[in-house]
């Protein structure tokens, strides 16, 4: 099983600032990496796929980068609605997908 490790577990950032979230795979997943946002009481929402492609309707302030085993989600200027939990997911070993444990992005 490919293990996905996210860091940090919690990130405190002020609105308007930049947030950088990390995800590491236990083995290469090429660019088969997605990011999801989950708000309390809601289902996850796909943000990024292919490591760097924004899903339909996702604002440009969200960007993804990386390949192989190291990936980053950057939110360039945090809005109030961005404070949520973010998960990475590898689908290189589809359908045996695995998710990271999540990073909680909170208001500083």
Segment near other proteins (CB under 8 A); pick from 10-18, 40-48, 65-73, 75-83: 40-48
Answer whether 52's CB lies under 8 Å from 88's CB: no
* Candidate list 21, 34, 73, 75; residue touching other proteins; CB under 8 A: 34
H or E element, residue 40: none
CB of 59 to other proteins, least distance (A): 17
Q: For other proteins, give the closer residue by CB, 36 or 83.
A: 36
55 counts as binding other proteins under rule CB under 8 A: yes
Q: For other proteins, give the closer residue by CB, 61 or 104.
A: 104
**Angle at Cα 49 formed by Cα 32 and Cα 59, nearest 5°?**
160
CA torsion, ordered 90, 5, 84, 62, to nearest 10 deg: -60
Nearest in space to 3 (alpha carbons), one of 21, 27, 22: 27
CB of 56 to other proteins, least distance (A): 8
99 counts as binding other proteins under rule CB under 8 A: yes
60 has which bridge partners? none
16 counts as binding other proteins under rule CB under 8 A: no
């Amino acid at each position: 099983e490919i293990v996905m490790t996210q860091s940090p577990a919690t990130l405190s950032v002020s609105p308007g600032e930049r947030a950088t979230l990390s995800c590491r795979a236990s083995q290469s997943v090429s660019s088969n990496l997605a990011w999801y946002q989950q708000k309390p009481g809601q289902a996850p929402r796909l943000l990024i796929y292919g490591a760097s492609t924004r899903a339909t309707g996702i604002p440009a302030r969200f960007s993804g980068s990386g390949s192989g085993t190291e990936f980053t989600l950057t939110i360039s200027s945090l809005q109030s609605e961005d404070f949520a939990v973010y998960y990475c997911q590898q689908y290189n070993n589809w359908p045996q997908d695995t998710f990271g444990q999540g990073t909680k992005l909170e208001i500083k």
